[in-house]
Structure 1
Amino acid sequence: MWYKKHYDKMPWHRGSTNASHPRRYTYSEVRKMTKYFSHKLGQSGYGAVYRGNLPHGREVAVKMLKDTEGDGEEFMNEVGSISRTSHVNVVTLLGFCLQSSKRALIYAYMSTGSLEKYTFGSNSVEGDNKTWERLFDIFIGIARGLEYLHNGCNTRIVHFDIKPQNILLDQDFCPKISDFGLAKLCQQKESKISIAGARGTIGYIAPEVFSRNYGGVSSKSDVYSYGMVALEMVGARKQIESSTDSSQYFPQWLYDNLDQFCGATCEISSNITELVRKMTIVGLWCIQFTPVGRPSMSKVLEMLESSSTDLHLPPKGF
């Protein structure tokens, strides 16, 4: 059985006493910890997420996947991917359930919810100083998490589904990358990745994932998704008054009107204008059509930690 063979090879399975390693739960235990799925937090195409408590009281979010047949390869891929990580900007997997067709992932509960909820929800706040500073902290936190996945693990992890819904925020608004169901593991020395078909979410998928005419699939595919998330974060925080066609591609509008866009924040403070300009330029670099034109996540962090006056717009390659 695929599950048995690969579960036995998990680094935390045999002889492990490390409490940080995910524990396997029965479906009956999952039902009890969620009070029989009474508190639903959200729903997606993959299943539903419920709030729950472990026996000792710790709050958790239980991702209950839709009932499926098969050997659980994709499910154990997610368990295996997250079990290899330990970083403040990557979600902590506390446990899982794989019992017949019942599959669940048990995470630490993130009280603030997703980045999508924070950025686009009814309670989101328009851009005052505190909001923009928090947004930048979230922005750089996601970058640190991705840089860790690409370069900080013994095995490189390419996520393939970076989007606002998959970035969770704790009570201090610290971002955590989640949902590793589409992730691909590869050796650090591998620069290209072989995948069968496109994977990810429309609007965030890098061009080369659709067509190899744009280049090979690599960790730069996550960089593209990060750039799209970055520009969405920036755009959602400012009402843009423009005489241009509202259907115009937003990154194109930003590229053509960067000074106008950033200048609109001057009424707040010059420091905030600096952050907005930096986030925008980095985002535009990340969404270059060809992977070779995009920075690595290490370079992204370097750009974010420099002055915006040291940054320049990329070629119009999107």
Structure 2
Amino acid sequence: MLQSYLWALQLSVGVVTISIIILCLKRNLRRKKKVKYNVNAENFLKTNKFFAPKRYSYSQVQKITNSFEVKLGQGGFGTVYKGSLSNGNFVAVKVLSESKGNGEDFINEVASVGRTSHANIVNLVGFCLEDRRRALIYEFMPNGSLEKFIYGRSSSSISQLGWEKLHQIAIGIARGLEYLHRGCDTRILHFDIKPHNILLDQDFCPKISDFGLAKLFLEKRSMISMSCVRGTPGYIAPEVVSRNFGHVSHKSDVYSYGMMILEMVGGRRNVETEVDHTSEIYFPHWIYKKVVVEEE
């Protein structure tokens, strides 16, 4: 009986000891990843300080947002708050989640938007990097994203945009893409062109935003290599998913732009389940049959 008790006690102590060791190893691994990320981010900022915008402390970010009082929206990589700078200008502060991603999205945004200057590209006012706390400060877009206007169910949201305004918005986005692909010394591929990432200012001038998936490469290179799929389903070019369809290039953004234009014209998502007929679920296929097949 005593021997069984001692055996059980030894087993329990062994399990607890192993658990503590595993926990310590995990914490040490997380600490190393944190240090590695901070070193990589800081090195990047030093190397690209010419392009980097103003750097803010986390306490300054809290002050700008009035302790994160007004929440504008939330996405996969963080939460956006409305803020105000000392000069009275309104800004949108994107606070990145500490548990999401490995920091590549933060570096991508600072690297890409920080080197741009165009009427149809959102302006990055500043950023914050303190340990794992990261924030991006953008100019405030009072009319929000294009998404709510083309998917909106209310007549008020739809009536604000007529065909002429939609045409102007489409042209503006195309000019922004042209600038990213050909107007910078370093070509920028966005990889996530969609209505949600097109912001509208007070005059409904479109500005391309959210460069978390962007990729930079020298302009003389016409094709790039990728290790993983980037983008949002429904807008991703076939060659991004499978090399059987060709090489990835700036034309992959053009494909996404075309899919977005279809949604602007149709006033609906390209994939919509709430339709009268199953043939209408995938809008590009439905419109193709209407325009091409029925004419033959």
Please say if 1:6 is aligned against 2:49.
Answer: no
**Alpha carbons 1:125, 1:131 under 8 Å: kept:** no
Alpha-carbon distance between aligned partners in 2 of 1:95 and 1:209, rounded to the nearest angstrom? 31
**Alpha carbons 1:161, 1:182 under 8 Å: kept:** yes
Within 5 Å, which residues of 2 pair with 1:62-101? 62-68=93-99, 72-101=103-132
Question: Which residue of structure 1 lines up, in the alignment, with residue 213 of structure 2?
Answer: 182
Please say if 1:170 is aligned against 2:207.
Answer: no
Greater share of helix: 2
Flag the 1:170–1:129 CA change in 2: closer, same or farther, 3 A. closer
Runs of 4+ aligned residues of structure 1 deviating over 3 Å after TM superposition are 68-74, 122-130, 242-248
* Bigger radius of gyration among the two: 2
Within 5 Å, which residues of 2 pair with 1:25-174? 25-68=56-99, 72-123=103-154, 131-174=162-205
Question: Which residue of structure 1 lines up, in the alignment, with residue 291 of structure 2?
Answer: 258
Give the alignment partner of residue 225 of structure 1, picking from 243, 253, 256.
Answer: 256
Flag the 1:259–1:74 CA change in 2: closer, same or farther, 3 A. closer
**Alpha carbons 1:52, 1:61 under 8 Å: kept:** yes
Flag the 1:139–1:129 CA change in 2: closer, same or farther, 3 A. same
What SS does the corresponding residue of 1:114 show, helix, strand or coil?
Answer: coil
Unaligned 5+ runs, structure 1:
14-20, 262-312, 314-318
Unaligned 5+ runs, structure 2:
1-38, 269-274
Within 5 Å, which residues of 2 pair with 1:190-201? 190-201=221-232
Identity value in percent: 57
Flag the 1:96–1:89 CA change in 2: closer, same or farther, 3 A. same
Q: Shift in Å at residue 189 of structure 1?
A: 0.9
**Alpha carbons 1:110, 1:171 under 8 Å: kept:** yes
**Alpha carbons 2:148, 2:157 under 8 Å: kept:** no
Q: Which residue type is aligned with residue 39 of structure 1?
A: V
- Taking structure 1 as the reference length, what is the TM-score of the superposition? 0.73
Question: Which residue of structure 2 lines up, in the alignment, with residue 215 of structure 1?
Answer: 246
Deviation readout 1:73-124 (Å, 9 max, x if unpaired): 4312210110111110000000001111111110000000001012122445
What SS does the corresponding residue of 1:186 show, helix, strand or coil?
Answer: strand
Q: Which moved more, 1:1-10 or 1:71-80?
A: 71-80
Alpha-carbon distance between aligned partners in 1 of 2:70 and 2:231, rounded to the nearest angstrom? 28
**Alpha carbons 2:149, 2:157 under 8 Å: kept:** no
Q: Which residue type is aligned with residue 46 of structure 2?
A: D
**Alpha carbons 2:200, 2:207 under 8 Å: kept:** yes
Question: Which residue of structure 1 lines up, in the alignment, with residue 13 of structure 2?
Answer: none
**Alpha carbons 1:40, 1:50 under 8 Å: kept:** yes
- Taking structure 2 as the reference length, what is the TM-score of the superposition? 0.78
Alpha-carbon distance between aligned partners in 2 of 1:143 and 1:43, rounded to the nearest angstrom? 26
Alpha-carbon distance between aligned partners in 1 of 2:80 and 2:276, rounded to the nearest angstrom? 42
Flag the 1:54–1:126 CA change in 2: closer, same or farther, 3 A. closer
**Alpha carbons 1:2, 1:73 under 8 Å: kept:** no
Q: Shift in Å at residue 141 of structure 1?
A: 0.6
Alpha-carbon distance between aligned partners in 2 of 1:255 and 1:129, rounded to the nearest angstrom? 28
**Alpha carbons 1:118, 1:124 under 8 Å: kept:** no
Alpha-carbon distance between aligned partners in 2 of 1:60 and 1:110, rounded to the nearest angstrom? 8
Q: Shift in Å at residue 44 of structure 1?
A: 0.9
